[in-house]
Structure 1
């Protein structure tokens, strides 16, 4: 499968990297001189390249083309004509103005799956720039994140871009399956805003079903208790008690089995209604041991809990669990996170490091028979 990747920044490149890991040939088309915006998004840098760019661009070939130049545009069209998938996240209308819009390119490549990623859609939202922070704010995520009464807090990564990339990948795979049956390509459209609204799941469902407007609750859950952060003797500890059986076991392990029979705490709905009293009852016993000690005791008993790790601790945990979270440094450059999907017959492969800007331009031009370009 050949992917013509006109995507920039995160949503599109993340999706095309996942496809590349699984065997797709991805041709990344970039602006001469500067390339993808994330090439300049640093520090930090590794081997002279921004780690932001390195994190989502392995297994790709980079071609620099000025899409306003007739010769380079013809080369881009030649790439698209042999592609199975095109991915782009320009402002709506840009690809049409360049002569690379869907109706134009499907005339010469009717089997093409044409994936457009926008911030707020291609209609009234076309004028709005699709930056993750902007969508987190306007799409409601920040309103349910952070401390109660606060101004709103963004997630620690560009979560909406990542979610949108996953949705785009799912749409592309569905369109390819349709093409296998019919021979027809189609257009796939995904926006950051609708992807976020879908990903808000229980919060969005509560609003649509009842009209309630959820608010930030810090580390608490609106529908489950105890499901938040407590202080152990040395550092914070998360409890994620999802049912009454787990709560009863928790009470036994902290040495206060009677709590599970208290009418205020016997059922989840009651625990949510009496959350403050519940937190007070649990905080004292939990402060008597270290987070690691509680992790061992409670996990063994089937109560979901764990310390709040930094990234070093998170990777160390994945290593201990045998999840192989890192790509060997020699396989795809420094600092690469492994593909998250394990496939028994067709596993992800790490063939090449993220490309230098324009690294494969001459090579691809020769393949297309366009050395003069």
Structure 2
């Protein structure tokens, strides 16, 4: 059993993705994560698709315990304060100031627990002209410039997964781990602030650095051109992807695999920077070649020539892929009332022990409420005994 964060108690007061994902990453490493939810409805992601145990909720909430609190009740407010007082980490994602209404603003939380590592996730930061705006993944991707690197201006359409949400959760978990390490030396907690805007910008640091140096605004075509990445539809309608990068051997291997050594002498493609400048023309030359044969024809040729390549797989193909099956990434958990829950294990493996990754299914709402309340009662100081003075 690999639980490197065993003994760390995390209180997650999160919704949707950023906060819950950060908490789940810590839970995957062995932290005891208590998910605090509103009584009745819980995390809105529970009912994003159906019921209170939808796939969106399942994705970001394994390895946690759930307690539902009614914040209109003083006893539940007190329970929340007790949870924070005994925690190592508090994670919440909301607009600035929203946490204060629940008694978990930075100053309030620090008063309750000076050792607390308090992670506050917002859309745009605690202050500034956008601080009070609502923020979801697409908003953060758009304002950070990230979306402009993927969406065609001629036919704008939102594609792909929730990148800003997930990236922000990753940075939040990293910030928390750093603060926990520092606390080992100082004994003091920290306020860890993460905004979706800053996290998504930093995730695209290479593109921003290129803009700072060259003054060229990144576009959706830039990465493929500079990295010499290509994708082609084959004769059977399936797609294949290539990433030639900069080593000349990969370009030469490609020419060997497709039977076109003559392209090495084409003045448009002789040097790597020639191929970068003439990327569109290179695609035009290669496209009909790959379209002439099914994907199964090209895969062994590219592998034999040691060309970085892969079939573009759908999720159904990925989980059946032999390498994925070998690594045991796809796991099936069993919940006592909800049945089987299929999920992906953490990609972090310690000392080669994949079997030591212990996972529990996402909780139903308030599944552990009674258990957690008993723990709080047991930890509460005993009332002072009345005594009479001896005469």
TM-score when normalising by structure 1: 0.91
Maintained 8 Å contact 2:318/2:324: no
Instruction: Quote the residue 2:183 is aligned against.
Output: 179
Match of 2:226 among 223, 227, 232: 223
Maintained 8 Å contact 1:149/1:216: no
- Displacement of 1:67 in angstroms is 2.8
Write the distance in 2 (CA, Å) between the matches of 1:274 and 1:311. Answer: 33
Report which stretch shifted further, 274-283 or 132-141: 274-283
Q: Are residues 222 and 122 of structure 1, via their aligned partners in 2, closer, same or farther at CA, if it must alter by over 3 Å?
A: farther
- Displacement of 1:297 in angstroms is 1.4
Instruction: Quote the residue 2:334 is aligned against.
Output: 330
- Displacement of 1:320 in angstroms is 5.2
Instruction: Quote the residue 2:374 is aligned against.
Output: 366
Maintained 8 Å contact 1:114/1:187: yes
C-alpha RMSD of matched pairs (Å)? 2.2
Write the distance in 2 (CA, Å) between the matches of 1:204 and 1:354. Answer: 38
Matched, 1:127 2:132: yes
Match of 1:29 among 12, 36, 40: 36
Instruction: Quote the residue 1:145 is aligned against.
Output: 150
Once the two structures are superposed, residues 325-357 of structure 1 have per-residue CA deviations (whole angstroms, 9 ceiling, x without a partner) of 112333794121111111128866434321111
Maintained 8 Å contact 1:221/1:228: yes
Q: Are residues 345 and 230 of structure 1, via their aligned partners in 2, closer, same or farther at CA, if it must alter by over 3 Å?
A: closer
Instruction: Quote the residue 1:6 is aligned against.
Output: 13
Maintained 8 Å contact 1:29/1:65: yes
Provide the secondary structure at the position in 2 that maps to 1:368.
helix
- Displacement of 1:147 in angstroms is 3.6
Matched residue count: 365
TM-score when normalising by structure 2: 0.87
Maintained 8 Å contact 1:55/1:335: no
Maintained 8 Å contact 1:224/1:268: no
Report which stretch shifted further, 261-270 or 167-176: 261-270
Write the distance in 2 (CA, Å) between the matches of 1:333 and 1:188. Answer: 36
Structure 1: runs of 5 or more not aligned = none
Instruction: Quote the residue 1:39 is aligned against.
Output: 46
Maintained 8 Å contact 2:90/2:118: yes
Provide the secondary structure at the position in 1 that maps to 2:326.
coil
- Displacement of 1:109 in angstroms is 1.5
Write the distance in 2 (CA, Å) between the matches of 1:104 and 1:277. Answer: 61
Matched, 1:83 2:83: no
Residues 39-78 of structure 1 correspond to what in structure 2 (within 5 A)? 39-43=46-50, 49-78=53-82
Instruction: Quote the residue 1:114 is aligned against.
Output: 118
Provide the secondary structure at the position in 2 that maps to 1:104.
helix
Bigger-Rg structure (1/2): 2
Instruction: Quote the residue 1:282 is aligned against.
Output: 286
Provide the secondary structure at the position in 1 that maps to 2:361.
coil
Report which stretch shifted further, 23-32 or 92-101: 92-101
Instruction: Quote the residue 2:362 is aligned against.
Output: 354
Q: Are residues 318 and 137 of structure 1, via their aligned partners in 2, closer, same or farther at CA, if it must alter by over 3 Å?
A: farther
Maintained 8 Å contact 2:122/2:194: yes
Instruction: Quote the residue 2:241 is aligned against.
Output: 238
Q: Are residues 6 and 262 of structure 1, via their aligned partners in 2, closer, same or farther at CA, if it must alter by over 3 Å?
A: same
Provide the secondary structure at the position in 2 that maps to 1:127.
coil
Write the distance in 1 (CA, Å) between the matches of 2:227 and 2:297. Answer: 24
Instruction: Quote the residue 1:194 is aligned against.
Output: 198
Write the distance in 1 (CA, Å) between the matches of 2:245 and 2:235. Answer: 24
Instruction: Quote the residue 2:386 is aligned against.
Output: none
Report which stretch shifted further, 171-180 or 308-317: 308-317
Report which stretch shifted further, 287-296 or 329-338: 329-338
Write the distance in 2 (CA, Å) between the matches of 1:215 and 1:68. Answer: 50
Maintained 8 Å contact 2:324/2:330: no
Match of 1:204 among 208, 212, 216: 208
Maintained 8 Å contact 1:22/1:346: no
Write the distance in 2 (CA, Å) between the matches of 1:370 and 1:56. Answer: 30
Instruction: Quote the residue 1:273 is aligned against.
Output: 277
Report which stretch shifted further, 52-61 or 337-346: 337-346
Q: Are residues 317 and 351 of structure 1, via their aligned partners in 2, closer, same or farther at CA, if it must alter by over 3 Å?
A: closer
Provide the secondary structure at the position in 2 that maps to 1:340.
coil
Write the distance in 2 (CA, Å) between the matches of 1:240 and 1:345. Answer: 28
